[in-house]
Structure 1
Amino acid sequence: MHGWVILGDAATKRVNGQEVVVIADRSGDLGAAIRAWEDDERRRMAYELGNLGRLVNDALDRLRQAGAT
């Protein structure tokens, strides 16, 4: 939960130039809400990096095939 500014039942953080606001759920557990957002963000980033890796690998394969002909 590093870098969050806590404001009552809400927390804010700047991520990639945008302000993210997380609000405590019905239980009032702001820490759980922040952890859930961070987990979702971690999964999103891993998914996007996986996609980028596949694009790079495909491009390298095409370059290798073009050089082999």
Structure 2
Amino acid sequence: MTMHGWVILGNAATKRVNGQEIVITAGRSGDLGAAIRAWEDDERHRMAYELGNPGRLVNDALDRLRQARDI
């Protein structure tokens, strides 16, 4: 069985992401769907944060330039 790219085998699901095999288990709750959604939410937040890092670096550099110019 597959679910949005996940291969589900009993209480575990696997998916290959960026060449790395991800394995999710149902855990104590026994709800594999919830475990997959939680992993996908965490991954979405991680990616958004990492994609925002260059913007934060540029903003910090521009702020330092403005401060240096104003002194």
Name the TM tier (shorter chain): 0.7 to 0.9
1:23 aligns with 2:25: yes
Distance 2:17 2:55 in 1: 22
- Tell which deviates more after alignment, 9-18 or 47-56: 47-56
Larger relative contact order, structure 1 or 2 (CA cutoff 8 Å, min sep 6)? 1
After the TM superposition, which residues 1-69 of structure 1 pair with which residues of structure 2 at under 5 Å, given as runs? 1-56=3-58, 61=62
The normalised TM-score by structure 1 is 0.76
TM-score (norm 2): 0.74
Q: Percent identity?
A: 87
Segments of structure 1 that go 5 or more residues without pairing to the other structure are: 62-69
Q: CA deviation at 1:27?
A: 1.8
Name the Cα RMSD after superposition.
Answer: 2.1
What runs of 5+ residues in structure 2 fail to find an aligned partner? 63-71
> What is the number of residues matched between the two proteins?
63
